[in-house]
Amino acid sequence: MNDQSETLEQTTGGLDLALLLPFQITQLSGKLAAQARAILSRHGTLSLAQWRIIRIVAMGLPPQSTAVRKSSGIDKGQFSKTVNVLIDEGYVTTRPCPFDHRQFEVILTDKAIAAHARLAPELDARQAHLLAALTDAQREMILPAIHALAKAAETIDFLNKDKD
């Protein structure tokens, strides 16, 4: 037994972690969300979903509603409600999308731009902090691994391949 497995045992109480990859990822996701919320709450009351939308538009990505929604990874219904809250609180305005009248475009107000200017450096520092915790090899490996898992998580067809 090496020191790595010892370290891991501390976080789970001694389970065989090979059985718990989804569980470990879920726990990590929760901790990352809590950390992001802690940073956001230092400077205001933006929720994570609200921040993601602001950040996407601030980055200069396409501001059409569907593009923003897909970049944010937020559910259709939740996206609609979150944008309306952002409007009510004066962070964004919208205008009709010229080439598709079902959609709209998201425009940041000065308030959102100011919030972004305050928050972005701290979130960038956090990102650097997280990456610094990984070895070079881990840093190179992890995004492809996450992507491979995400693809494998999109289907449950493997359960009845024998029935086809």
Binds 43: which of DNA, a copy of itself, none (CB < 5-8 Å by kind)? none
Candidate segments 16-24, 62-70, 118-126, 140-148, binder of DNA by CB under 7 A: 62-70
Nearest to 122 by CA among 38, 52, 56, 49: 38
Name the region of 10 (left: φ>0; alpha: ψ -120 to 50; beta: rest): alpha
Q: Which residues bind a copy of itself (CB under 8 A)?
A: 4, 7-8, 11-13, 15, 17-19, 21-36, 38-39, 42, 52, 59, 61, 67, 70-71, 73, 122, 124-127, 129-134, 137-138, 141-156, 158-159
Instruction: Locate all alpha helices (DSSP H) within 13-75, ordered by sequence.
Output: 21-43, 48-58, 65-72
Q: How far is the CB of 69 from a copy of itself (least distance, A)?
A: 11
DSSP β-bridge partners for residue 64: 105
Residues in Cβ contact with 113 at an 8 Å cutoff, skipping those fewer than 6 apart: 58
Least distance between DNA and beta carbon 120 (Å) = 19
CA 44 to chain centre: 19
The CB-of-153 to DNA minimum distance in angstroms stands at 12
**Residue 66 is a binding residue for DNA (CB under 7 A):** yes
